Amino acid sequence: MDIVVFESLYGNTAAVAAAIADGLGEGARALTTSEATPEIVAAARIVVAGAPVHAMSLPTTASRESARSKPQGADRMPADLGHMPMREWLAALPRGPRLGAAFDTRVRGPLGHGASKAIAHTLEADGFTLLDGPRGFTVHMHTSASEPATLLARGQLDLAREWGTHLRERAGSLV
């Protein structure tokens, strides 16, 4: 089984995770950090993990609370804080030889990097073999829409699906 684990506040990272899982192929699943239990992770062949970039790294308790006070769009859609932060999930990650990859959702510019590198570093430290370098998918800073995943830049889901396919092919070449 292959899994794509994500932290997503406004649905953008969740949509990218689902597209990556589509690219990984049949049986791959996109799971929130709360759904991806240590037992599921231990049974996975490939673990791809992703989160949004907050202040050039993974979301923190403070940045998640800040998101709570910033509903999105005209209808003021609240941030989804119902799942475990990626930082906590990574801290509880079962060690072991598995294949992995890391991604983030980010705005363009110098402040839009860092979460995927932090995730990749933790995966490697926990014994994972990375299938590719950390990958970023672009989101816009603001939207007037109040539906999940409306901040994604055009074409990002196609790029995520293609990257999932690339990861599956890399994993196949390592077997």
Question: What is the model's pTM?
Answer: 0.92
Say whether pLDDT at 33 is over 90: yes
Instruction: Give one DSSP letter per residue of the chain, joined into a string.
Output: -EEEEE--SSSHHHHHHHHHHHHH-TT-EEEETTTS-HHHHHH-SEEEEEEE-BTTBS--HHHHHHHHT--BTTTTBPP---S--HHHHHHTPPPSSEEEEEEEEE-SSTTS--HHHHHHHHHHHTTEEESS--EEEEB-S--S--STTTTBPTTHHHHHHHHHHHHHHHHHHH-
pLDDT tens for 85-115 read 999 999 999 888 899 999 999 887 666 677 9
Q: What is the pLDDT of residue 147?
A: 66
Q: Which domains does the chain have, with CATH numbers?
A: 2-174 (3.40.50.360)
